[in-house]
Amino acid sequence: MKIAVIGMGKIGLPLAAQFAGKGHEVVGVDVNSDTVATINAGHEPFPGEAHLAEHVARLVPSKRLRATTEYADAVPHADAIVVVVPLFVDNDGNPDFGWMDSATRDLAANLTPGTLVSYETTLPVGTTRTRWKPMIEEISGLTEGADFHLVFSPERVLTGRVFEDLRKYPKLIGGLSSIGAAKARAFYEAVLDFDERPDLVRGNGVWDLGSAEASEMAKLAETTYRDVNIGLANQFAKFAETAGIDVYQVIEASNSQPYSHIHRPGIAVGGHCIPVYPRLYLSNDPHATVVETAREENANMPSHAVTRLAETFGSLAGARVAVLGAAYRGGVKETAFSGVFETVRSLQQAGAHVAVQDPLYDDEELEALGFRPFHLGDEADAAVIQTDHREYQGLSPDDLPGASVVLDGRNVLRDGQLGDVTVVVIGRPTVAAR
């Protein structure tokens, strides 16, 4: 097949490589000419995705994979088009369809009959049918269900392990017609491999959910569940702090039977998915009070962490506070909706002088994010662990000379690891010099 993948980002490029690795001719489209040039030179444009570099280095010279900035080069006569263009949102999670609208218009202007169009970007329920279908039909002059077929099939992978997750989880599809769904099933079965999953009654593979709307909701539901679960864990953690209880023991005990799956509490919920998709769900279902409450609970956790730090340290006015971790998640160089921003803001509102350290970011990159860089070994009065980077598991008192209190927002430190430093852990009562 000839396949076009629209959007060569951290999901789109691995997808394109997966498809090309199955023997198909894949052309990736991206608006960034530097990204396109890097791919066409046989190199990955961003680090951190397992196996991506070797796939790109092999597939580009073999002529199975290339990139372009021109839709007219990639879209005409494609058997399938997969759209993975970012949906941007504001701080409240309200969608900005600007980039997706632009990509859809360019796609439609070059669309030829017989093509399957699959959107993989997470969307509010109904978007495929009510936004993309009429837009493509109007611009292309083609009719969905006859001249082309439109489906929604959400990506369900995490950056850093895309190829692994593509094999591990069922591929969900939902069409606007039964013919479109059948074509989507045939397409994804031809480009993906699936691990054996005896735990799944339906087995692993392509799952047709019956409609685009059901497929859209499934992605929102699985991510919203995680946000709600974390919100519940954070409420348990706050109560445990006041009641002198270690919430981690409670969670471990609860999860020892198969009906409890309580997630871990923490200083923040970040990334492109968990803080965002509940808002997309709420745009369709504003009466989902459980979802709204959990989102607010999680959004307030950085402020809660700073309050707990101040309760132990005392007034933060004039204090030198190091925030360890700019990334939203350990091992991932990404700050989308990271808790670092609200943590720094809350500390500054308390009068602290704040500096940020992250092993994945150099000083120039931290400054570009608006932060003053901190280096392990610099003097500090207190510190906050914001990201669960593996490197922080080996912190020693020498890394934070002068610090009397550390707020461990991710429960990464061992008891006594920092010697005489008082460690405050979210979900545990404060104990001096653990």
| Digit-coded pLDDT (tens) for 214-270 | 999 999 999 999 999 999 999 999 999 999 999 999 999 999 999 999 999 999 999
Mean pLDDT of 97-122: 97
94 falls in which pLDDT band (50, 70, 90)?
Answer: confident
The pLDDT value given to residue 89:
80
What is the distance between the alpha carbons of residues 82 and 8, in angstroms, rounded to a whole number? 11
Residue 82, helix vs strand vs coil: strand
The CATH number of the domain covering residues in 211-434 = 3.40.50.720
Q: How many CB atoms lie within 10 A of CB 98?
A: 12
CATH level 3 topology of 2-210? Rossmann fold (3.40.50)
| Same fold yes or no, 2-210 and 211-434 | yes
**Residue 433 clears pLDDT 50, i.e. is over it:** no
The pLDDT value given to residue 272:
87
Residues listed for the chain? 434
The model's pTM:
0.92
The pLDDT value given to residue 114:
97
| Digit-coded pLDDT (tens) for 334-347 | 999 999 999 999 99
For the chain, the C-alpha Rg in angstroms (whole number) is: 24
Sign of CA dihedral 17, 18, 23, 29: negative
The pLDDT value given to residue 285:
94
The set of residues, in sequence order, having a beta carbon less than 8 Å from that of 146 and lying 6+ positions away, is none
Cα distances (angstroms) measured from residue 277 to each of 87, 120, 413, 428: 11, 14, 31, 29
Tell me whether strands 80-83 and 115-119 are parallel, antiparallel or unpaired. Answer: parallel
For residue 140, the one-letter residue type is S
What's the whole-number average pLDDT of the chain? 96
DSSP state of 373: B
The pLDDT value given to residue 88:
83
- Nearest Cα neighbor of 37 from 13, 14, 66 is 66
- 92 near 279, Cβ under 8 Å? yes
What residue ranges do the domains of the chain occupy?
Answer: 2-210, 211-434
Mean pLDDT of 7-32: 97
- 238's tokens: 């706050």
